[in-house]
A = this chain, B = another copy of it.
Amino acid sequence: MSARPDGRTPRQLRPIEIIQDYTKWAEGSVLCCFGDTKVLCNATVEERVPGWMRDQGTGWVTGEYEMLPRATDRRSQREARQGRVGGRTHEISRLLGRSLRAAIDLKRLGERSITLDCDVIQADGGTRTASITGAWVAMALAVRRLQKQGIIGRDVITRQVAAVSLGVLDGEVWLDLDYAEDQKADTDLNLVMVDGGGIVEIQGTAEGVPFTRPELTEILDIGAEGIQTLMQHQRDALAGSDR
């Protein structure tokens, strides 16, 4: 059994930090750090919904993910300069929106929308899972502010949502891969769960060797445990914010 490069055990998360109220304008704002991966998650509340949803008395939650050009080891070109949003960016933005919508009662939100902007300041693997985990806190902060202002009532946030990545390397399952580990892993799986143990999203890809049913079982066991820990960090961050 091979040791992880940074000395972690297979089931161990990197140091997690969720810094609340990171910027001043957004209704909810956190910097979510999974080790060296740092994602700025800003929640914006707007008193309107997309055209196709109007006059239905229900709200909308959407996500937008983007990497700063030098978030990574090598600089990548800005998508605005290329004149289009890339496939990977689209894919993660859509995952982000779906995951967050699983945590909120859109009827109770009322005809307004929340946009979660997740901008990766520094990337070291797991940017999409850090985005989802941080965005939930940003969304909860924004909802709490609306509640304090008396704009919306209780029980708008219905569940807690967090996400973690897992990999299979030489038959062993590792939790919360950093970039170097992710590059070597045969399988890369992202798991999004709610409190109580339900699964919201599972996205697993075998890069090299297909993965087996027993491996998938172990992935789910370890992932569920990691997500429990992340949810504790989310609750701590919410408690620590005074906005």
Question: Which A residues are closer than 8 A to B by beta carbons?
Answer: 23-26, 29, 36, 38, 40, 42, 44, 46, 64, 66, 68-73, 75, 78-91, 93-94, 98, 102, 115, 117, 119, 121-123, 159, 189, 193-194, 196-206, 209-213, 216, 220
Contacts and interface: CB of A to CB of B under 8 A. Distances in A.
B200 A212 contact: no
Contacts of A89: 80
A117 B69 contact: yes
Nearest to A81: B85
Which 9 A-B residue pairings sit nearest by Cβ, starting from the closest? A198-B210, A87-B90, A79-B80, A42-B70, A44-B75, A80-B80, A202-B204, A26-B70, A23-B122
A200 B73 CA distance: 28
Contacts of A119: 68
Contacts of A122: 23-25
A25 B93 contact: no
Contacts of A216: 199, 202, 220
24 contacts: A24-B122, A25-B73, A25-B123, A29-B70, A40-B121, A42-B69, A42-B70, A46-B75, A80-B80, A80-B82, A80-B84, A84-B84, A84-B85, A87-B90, A87-B91, A91-B91, A102-B206, A193-B210, A194-B210, A197-B213, A198-B206, A198-B212, A200-B206, A216-B220
A220 B211 CA distance: 13
Which among A40, A71, A80, A117 has the greatest number of chain B C-beta atoms within 10 A? Answer: A80
A86 B72 CA distance: 25
A198 B204 CA distance: 12
B36 A24 contact: yes
A75, A84, A198, A212 pick with most chain B CB within 10 angstroms: A75
B202 A203 contact: yes
A41 to B, nearest CB: 10
A72 B68 CA distance: 17
B23 A70 contact: yes
